[in-house]
Amino acid sequence: KQEVTQIPAALSVPEGENLVLNCSFTDSAIYNLQWFRQDPGKGLTSLLLIQSSQREQTSGRLNASLDKSSGRSTLYIAASQPGDSATYLCAVKGNTPLVFGKGTRLSVIA
């Protein structure tokens, strides 16, 4: 059964800092991995989708990497801003529907 773990559970950084969020999964037989952002009480906004054949994807200040064989992905946020404060969720698609991690709650302090 696929398990997705995200570390750290919470992170607080000063504005401008570069940061890395980590995601690990137990079953490497995946089709893709998706990173989402969730603001309090709101829905899930898709940030990046990485297919299993890809190593990384970039969107603006965000860069996600995927190492399928080791069951790891990272989300790199450059030059963080207070508006980046949210919970970031990692989710993996294998032969089962999308399986989510519990998320990393990020606070960027001005």
Partner 1 sequence: EPEVTQTPSHQVTQMGQEVILRCVPISNHLYFYWYRQILGQKVEFLVSFYNNEISEKSEIFDDQFSVERPDGSNFTLKIRSTKLEDSAMYFCASRRDKNTGELFFGEGSRLTVL
Binding site for partner 1 (CB under 8 A): 31-32, 34, 36, 41-46, 49, 51, 89, 91, 93, 96-103
Nearer to partner 1, 21 or 80 (CB): 21
Nearer to partner 1, 77 or 89 (CB): 89
Nearer to partner 1, 80 or 104 (CB): 104
Q: How far is the CB of 71 from partner 1 (least distance, A)?
A: 18
Q: Scanning the structure block, which residue is given the tokens 């980590």?
A: 22
Q: How far is the CB of 92 from partner 1 (least distance, A)?
A: 11
Six-digit token string for 83: 């508006």
66 and 55 Cβ atoms separated by less than 8 Å: yes
Q: How far is the CB of 69 from partner 1 (least distance, A)?
A: 19
Q: How far is the CB of 43 from partner 1 (least distance, A)?
A: 4
Annotate 26-76 with DSSP letters as a single string: S----SEEEEEEE-TT--EEEEEEEETT-SEEEETTEEEEEETTTTEEEEE
d(CA 103, CA 88) in angstroms, rounded, equals 5
